[in-house]
Chains A and B, each alone.
Chain A
Amino acid sequence: DSGVTQTPKHLITATGQRVTLRCSPRSGDLSVYWYQQSLDQGLQFLIQYYNGEERAKGNILERFSAQQFPDLHSELNLSSLELGDSALYFCASSPRRDSHYEQYFGPGTRLTVT
């Protein structure tokens, strides 16, 4: 158990819908990363937050957005869902911004868009 929690574990929804994935980092970790794992694209970095502020963006679609709240939990919002958005979404946390620190992965949320 990495100490990172993600809810829900599984999510099934229809095209065009909007969903919110939630991540609670390890106690004390300030940095949160979101990754998408799909059959087509493999594991891709989406976005990073540090202490409530967006720090870096990867291959994140405009239909996707995220935020980190004062209690440091983070949410990834996916809207106008398409079949291709079906994937496993991971959240990872680390203590600081610096790359010296490890990233600890949550168990992931499996999103299925039908």
Chain B
Amino acid sequence: AQTVTQSQPEMSVQEAETVTLSCTYDTSESDYYLFWYKQPPSRQMILVIRQEAYKQQNATENRFSVNFQKAAKSFSLKISDSQLGDAAMYFCAYRSAWYGGSQGNLIFGKGTKLSVKP
């Protein structure tokens, strides 16, 4: 079974600075997707960024980028120029790549609570 581990329960960053959230995962599959979700105090789950395992290039979405190390099974999220609105819980998630099969659910880590100091 696949597992996702986020070893940092809480992180803090100064506004305008850069912060990196860590995530490791365990799988025997070669093809899969990795995600970072943001959950602000409103509790809404918001997709931040997605990475396909077959792509070597790291995904980037504006101020958010990932460092995907497939061999190390590591998937970290870097937030540049942190803003007060970035304060939230961040969840790393794994999903098998599967076409026409039965398993499409997300497997989540425990989350990292990010605080942004003004």
Complex: how many Å from CA A90 to CA B108?
13
Q: Does A71 contact B (CB under 8 A)?
A: no
Size category of the B interface is: 20 to 34
CB-CB < 8 A to B97: which residues of A?
Answer: 99-100
Closest approach, in angstroms, between the C-beta of A24 and any C-beta of chain B? 16
**Which of these binds chain A: B10-18, B77-85, B99-107?**
B99-107
Closest approach, in angstroms, between the C-beta of A80 and any C-beta of chain B? 25
Given known pairs A97-B100, A98-B100, A100-B99, the reply for A108 and B43 (CB within 8 Å) is yes
List the count of A-B residue pairs having beta carbons below 8 Å apart: 66
- Best-buried of B33, B96, B105, B108 by chain A (most CB within 10 Å): B105
CB-CB < 8 A to A107: which residues of B?
Answer: 42-44
CB-CB < 8 A to A35: which residues of B?
Answer: 105-106
Complex: how many Å from CA A103 to CA B91?
14
Q: Does A45 contact B (CB under 8 A)?
A: yes
CB-CB < 8 A to A98: which residues of B?
Answer: 98-100, 104
Nearest residue (CB) in A for B46 is A105
Q: Assuming A56-B104, A99-B96, what are 10 further A-B pairs, CB within 8 angstroms?
A: A45-B106, A56-B102, A56-B105, A88-B43, A97-B102, A98-B104, A99-B95, A99-B98, A100-B99, A108-B43
